Amino acid sequence: MKKVTNTLAPALQDFFTKYLPESRGLSRHTLLSYRDTLVLLLRFVAGLRNKTPVTLELDAISPEAVLAFLNHLEEERHNKTSSRNVRLAAIHAFFRYITINMPESIDQAQRILAIPFKRTVTRPIDYLEYEELHAVLSNIDRATRDGRRDYALLALMFNSGARAQEIVDLSACDLQLESPKQVKLFGKGRKTRICPLWPQTAQVLKEFVSERMLEGNTWCGQRDRVMLATLYNTGARVSELIGLTTGSVVLEGSACVHLHGKGRKQRTVPLWRTTASQLRQWLQCHPRAANQPLFPNRAGGPMTRTGVTDRLKLAVTTAAKRFPELKKRHISPHTIRHSTAMHLLQSGVDLTVIALWLGHESTATTHVYVEADLAMKESALNALRAPTIKSKRFRPTEGILAFLEGL
């Protein structure tokens, strides 16, 4: 006897993995809504037939079963008519897919597609008066961190009229708290809109952002800022950077850092005033013993190369919001080292000094930066006197003209 293949399971799989996201291009929120509807429907139909959902066939979802399910939503689950219609829309979407891909079930699909949406009762819009809204906001306990968050959230919702999903999807980069103050919302139908902010809302959000330290004032943010500044100042290799201890840094008098680098060689690199100041503040806020890592991980131990790379990637991702071209570039800690060398070279520092700065074995290694600097090449070209050879215009002889005319 030939075994009958279950058609419902592969149809559902293709519907959710290919048809909806690829053919229809629907958002993930819509997919999740359709999924929840069909899960409820399958459980309901399986209960009617005393089966498990996995054993159901497509023909088990009859028009009568769908109507019974819709009544169940209103009577047993106490859903409103609008919710019932949302569920029916999802069922219609699935059976429109069935009409296209399973023509043998087109009669069943057409009968289900003929089930109409139920008319809803239009109610007056329910809203809060200004005094009521003010009472809600003023009763939030802003002495706590959660209270300040809730106040900022509700104030922004009132200012922008945003949906709850639009609010929870917001990130710090969607806020512009300097003039013109505004928020960018990504909403229903994948539409993006810009909403202006009142000065009061912008001030509340600015205080919230500062407190939540979304601008890099966390412990990790402070460490990363000082670490990358030191990396740029010194041009150190990653292994040299993570090997630094507090005792490697001299911040009094001639500020400098002692690096133990490639080939077991040690070198001393001077620190700019800004870098020395940042390091001084870092060590004052987070004092450490002389033999402890200068840039520790959260556990207090030395960072790894991967850790430094990941922190740099995080900083680059943030900077890419201002400079989008950074998204297309592969930037590693060694890129910072190259940047140090190029900027020293462009500032007129001698090549031998740069070689010492970077810990190169010879200036031949450092010479690649000269070759990479197009501005230096242009400067060298401009220093040359262009040849003053006067070009003469070619004039063909009579014999050539006669030859060409005879072709």
36 close to 54: Cβ distance less than 8 angstroms: no
3 state SS of 182:
strand
> Tokens standing for 320?
């890419």
DSSP conformation letters of 80-92: -HHHHHHHHHHHH
Return the beta strands (E) in 216-337 as ranges. Answer: 249-250, 256-260, 266-270
- Catalytic residue, candidates 49, 77, 80, 163: 163
Determine which helix (DSSP H) or strand (DSSP E) holds 151, and give its type and residue range: helix 145-160
Q: Would you call 337 a catalytic residue per the annotation?
A: yes
Q: 107 CB contacts (<8 Å, ≥6 apart)? A: none
Q: Would you call 286 a catalytic residue per the annotation?
A: no
Residue type, 267: R
Rounded CA gap, 268 and 292, in Å? 19
Q: Identify the DSSP state of 187.
A: -
Question: Which long-range contacts does 276-282 make (Cβ < 8 Å, 24+ apart)?
Answer: 276/251, 278/225, 278/226, 278/229, 278/230, 279/226, 279/230, 279/249, 279/251, 280/251, 281/226, 282/222, 282/223, 282/226
Calculate helix-pair angle for 219-234, 273-285, nearest 10 degrees: 150
Q: Would you call 190 a catalytic residue per the annotation?
A: no
- Catalytic residue, candidates 87, 223, 311, 337: 337
Strand partners, 258: 268
DSSP conformation letters of 226-248: HHHHHHHHH---HHHHHT-BGGG
Q: Would you call 360 a catalytic residue per the annotation?
A: yes
- Catalytic residue, candidates 262, 265, 327, 343: 262
> Tokens standing for 208?
């919230």
Q: Which of 221, 220, 239 is nearest to 334 (CA)?
A: 239
Q: Is the peptide bond before 116 cis (omega within 30 degrees of 0)?
A: no
- Catalytic residue, candidates 188, 298, 334, 343: 334
State the catalytic residues. Answer: 163, 262, 334, 337, 360, 369
